[in-house]
Amino acid sequence: MAHSDADVNVPRDLTPIAEAAAMFGVSRRTLERLVQQGQLRRFRRPGDRRTFVSLDEVNRGLGFREVPSKYEP
């Protein structure tokens, strides 16, 4: 199925939010909080009650971050 120009920016790695939460070992509420903070977009498909998120975006939102050492001057 070819994408139209409007679909070009839609990620292909969409997963239901409940499954993404289970995959990353966090609660659904944690992912919903990322949505509220603007760190994660959510998607819906017509006729489907589920909410989808991009696994890449979830990984960026929950990924590793550098933490400065308490012992560095």
Q: How confident is the model over 14-24, as a mean pLDDT?
A: 92
Cα 1 to Cα 16: distance, rounded to the nearest angstrom: 21
Tens-digit pLDDT profile for residues 43-66: 998 888 989 999 999 988 887 777
pLDDT at 8 over 60: no
Domains of the chain: residue spans and CATH: 12-61 (1.10.10.10)
> In the prediction, which pLDDT does 1 show?
38
The closest of 3, 38, 40 to 21, measured between CA atoms, is 40
| Full-model pTM | 0.67
